[in-house]
A and B are shown apart, each in its own frame.
Chain A
Amino acid sequence: MNPLKKQYYIDKRPLPVLFLIEYKNAILLIISFILFFVGVTSKYVPKGLTIEGYQTLIIFIFAIFLWVTNIIPLAITSLAVMGLLATFRVLEGGQIYSFFGNEAIFFIIGSFIIAAGVSSAGLNERVSYFVLSKFGERPQKLVLSIFFLAAILSHIMPEHAVAALLYPILTSIAGRLELQRDSILGKFMFLALAWGSVLGGVVTFLGGARNPLAIGILQETTGEEIHFLEWMKVVAPPIYIICIAAALYMWSKVKNSKRDTHQLQKILLSNSSQLGKIRLKEVKALLILLGTIYMWIFQSHRFSIANIALISASLYFVLNVMKWEEAKTQINWGAIFMYGGAIALGKSLVETGLLTYISDKFIANMSITLTGFIVITFVISLFLTEGVSNTAVIVILLPVIIEMAVKFGFSPKLAVYIVAVPAGLAFMFPMSSPPNAIAFSSGYIRSSEAVKMGFFLKIFSTVIFLLFAVFYWSFLGLY
């Protein structure tokens, strides 16, 4: 093959079009900066709103624009937001930067280190090979074992890390089985990976750092807290029902596959045996993990989840499970930067009176039932998350929804659930969440099919959550 054909091609579209495509981010950035400075220095401040509240509003709109368009990294937008809030003296500089001291941030740091410890010890890899070799002897069982393995691992690890861990194993399985690009088995193996990681990641605080971020915003704005077990009690039952429905759907689709997967057991067992016998490191990692989960579930009222996470994280080093060099590459520092800025912005919306202003002006006269409030918020968050980062959805919606919930006399905790849970349920597009992007990159999933199936899964999730909200959440005393 001509190497040129492989590496380069000449784009012959008109130059202005190429220029706009190449520099669209820079153009958008310049325009948004100009509009921001025109807006923030404007003398027109709506009646009833303080100058700080008005400036927060402009910074908030600017940040939403940057988070939605993603023209600069999300974390950098967050840092810029902190700089702008301090520059315009919306809050005192010291106070703004102190939001990095929020408990949620330290919980996130701790949980990243715990996930890194499990991964460095090789525990997740061994579990994956064991499960797939044990249950993967038929196509349906193979797909379901991938689905449930991804879902369960996402309870204790970030969902993108689970997808990244299983992806090479699945690619090698697909290669050994010589699956064609239009193979049903290939498609559902990778859909199972994406759906399992996404659904499992919603159930605990560890699957996606957006959940602790939502708790952090709740703490800063209302002083209320949601504990680990409390979250699971509310979220796990509806998610498990959705998981069962998704599993049944995949089972029915894959049963037509005649592919013989018996040979897989041998391949996976041989790969698994290459990992050697169980090492002391893995045992230590498992024990720390089990102890941490126990403490989070049963003792978080006494010790707080952040304290438990940090002590557990340090145990991985004390017991020599991993070295700092290994840990630091696996910590998502960008997410940590982003959350500091997001919490600062959430707090500013409250402190400057902007949310009260919005609530008095637009919400006070509205009348809405509890069911209507849940459905509308859930659906907005559910579909917004397909185009915007999961975390950005929380930052954009949650402060306003908490204020609305309080105004209507509903629990602010309810607001957290109906924003944060659907924000994690991104099934439709590759860019909606990292597990989707990873699964799509296999080439077995066609976008049109994923959009169709993802849409139905979203509608089904909405119905299930509504039923649970009406019949189960009231039983838990959520409202």
Chain B
Amino acid sequence: MTTITIEENVETEELLEQINLKIVEKDLRFALVEFKKSMDVFQRRKSIEEIKKYYDLFLILKICMPTHPHRIEEYFSYGLHGIFFIQEEAKKIDCYKDTLQSAVDLFPKGLVFAQIDEDKELIQYLINLKVIPVVFNKEEAYLFHNSEDWMKYTRLFGNEGLENGIYDKIKMKFMLEKVNLRQKLMVKQMDQSLDSSGL
């Protein structure tokens, strides 16, 4: 998967051009997104909204495993479709069970990824949690996937598994909009909530 790094105060046109070059022109359907630490929640949300306005892509947040599971709610509110946890050297991944569980509960099943070293036990552990292991061996990273239903999104990785026919395009669009709708329903603004109470 290709990573897009979003800088603070980046111009929308510049950001869109970067995505166009790295993702769209290569006919990819997924993009890993990472933010510069200095960006606040609103800037992050805004940049994701802009990308979604122009491109039909699965946007996956690339981030280190947070120590507190509550941070996952903040990540979810950015409007991204999934989350990709980068491997932590200091701690073992099973120390983060609550965080992983929280991510699986919030993000759609099949769009939570965790980077690990090749370890059969660990792979099984993540699969049991419904987290997709992204395994690193000496040469390259590869995505673990099998025929389980909740791993349906992994079939859209790369461009080899998909034809560019109208049926595939509709299918991809349908899957994406389903995730977008889920996002829209779950992320609520305080102001809207107060307005809807009639006060």
Pairwise interchain contact B198-A437, C-beta atoms closer than 8 A: yes
**Bound: A291/B29 CA distance, A:** 72
> Are A22 and B185 in contact (CB-based, < 8 A)?
yes
Determine if A10 and B40 form an interchain contact, defined as CB atoms under 8 angstroms apart: no
Known: A15-B185, A18-B185. A7 touches B198 (CB 8 A): no
**Taking the complex as formed, is B27 at the interface, i.e. its CB lies under 8 A from any CB of chain A?**
no
Complex Cα distance A10/B42, Å?
Answer: 16
Which of the residues A3, A15, A441 comes within 8 Å of B40, measured between beta carbons?
A: A3
> Closest chain B residue to A23 by CB distance?
B185
Contact among B181, B186, B198, B199 for A12, CB-based, below 8 A: B186
State in angstroms the CA–CA spacing of A440 and B199 once bound together. 7
Cβ of A10 and Cβ of B77 under 8 Å apart? yes
B190 near A10: Cβ-Cβ < 8 Å:
no
- In the complex where A10-B77, A440-B199 touch, is A3 in contact with B186 (Cβ < 8 A)? no
Report which of A3, A430, A437 forms a contact with B42, defined as CB distance below 8 A: A3
> In the complex, which residue of chain B has the Cβ closest to the Cβ of A447?
B199
CB of A10 within 8 A of CB of B199, answer: no
> Does A362 make an interface contact (CB < 8 A)?
no
Chain B residues with a Cβ closer than 8 Å to the other chain, count: 22
Contact with A along B42-78 (1 / 0, CB 8 A): 1000000000000000000000000000000110110
A1-54: which residues lie under 8 A (CB-CB) from chain B?
2-4, 6-12, 15, 18-19, 22
A3–B131 Cα distance when bound, in Å, is 29
Contact residues in B for A440 (Cβ distance below 8 Å): 199
Please report the total number of A residues contacting B with Cβ < 8 Å.
19
- Nearest chain B CB to A62 CB, angstrom units: 25
The majority secondary structure among interface residues of chain A is helix
Chain B residues with CB under 8 Å of A430's CB are: 198-199
Given A4-B77, A8-B77; A18-B186 close (CB under 8 Å):
yes
The answer to whether A7 touches B186 (Cβ under 8 A) is no
Q: Which residues of chain A have C-beta atoms less than 8 A from B77's C-beta?
A: 4, 8, 10
Interface check A152, CB cutoff 8 A: no
Q: B190 contacts A9, CB within 8 Å?
A: yes
Taken together as a complex, chains A and B put the C-alpha atoms of A2 and B198 apart, in Å, by 26
What are the residues of chain B within 8 A of A15 when measuring CB–CB?
Answer: 182, 185-186
**Which chain A residues in 183-220 approach chain B with CB under 8 Å?**
none
0/1 string, A429-459, CB within 8 A of B gives 1: 0110000010011000000000000000000
Residues in A neighbouring B42, C-beta threshold 8 A = 3, 7
- Bound state CA distance, A441 and B190, in angstroms? 15
Report the minimum CB–CB distance from B182 to chain A (whole Å): 6
B186 contacts A6, C-beta separation under 8 Å? no
Instruction: Flag if B187 contacts A8 (CB, 8 Å).
Output: yes
- In the complex, A440→B181 CA distance in Å? 33
Question: Is the C-beta of B175 less than 8 angstroms from some C-beta in chain A?
Answer: no
A10 near B185 with CB under 8 A, answer no
Complex CA gap A441/B198 in Å reads: 9
Residues of chain B lying within 8 A (CB to CB) of residue A19: 181, 185
A440 vs B105: C-alpha distance in the bound complex, in angstroms?
37
A437 and B199 within 8 A (CB):
yes
Does B86 lie at the interface of the complex (its beta carbon under 8 Å from any beta carbon of A)? no
**CB nearest neighbor in B for A443:** B199
Complex formed: what's the CA distance from A18 to B182 in Å? 9
User: Contact between A11 and B41 (Cβ–Cβ < 8 Å)?
Assistant: no
User: In the complex the two chains form, is B198's CB within 8 Å of A11's CB?
Assistant: no
Contacts of A10 in B (CB 8 A): 73, 76-77, 106, 186-188
- Give min CB distance, B91 to chain A, whole Å: 24
B interface residue numbers (CB < 8 A to A): 40-42, 73-74, 76-77, 105-106, 181-182, 184-191, 193, 198-199
A residues whose Cβ falls under 8 Å from a Cβ of B: 2-4, 6-12, 15, 18-19, 22, 430-431, 437, 440-441
Listed by A's residue number, 21 A-B pairs whose Cβ atoms lie within 8 Å are: A3-B40, A3-B42, A4-B77, A7-B41, A7-B42, A8-B41, A8-B190, A9-B188, A9-B190, A9-B193, A10-B73, A11-B187, A11-B188, A12-B105, A12-B186, A15-B185, A18-B185, A19-B185, A22-B185, A430-B198, A431-B198
13 extra interchain contacts, Cβ-Cβ under 8 A, other than A8-B189, A431-B198? A3-B41, A4-B73, A4-B74, A6-B190, A7-B189, A9-B73, A10-B188, A11-B186, A18-B186, A430-B198, A437-B198, A437-B199, A440-B199
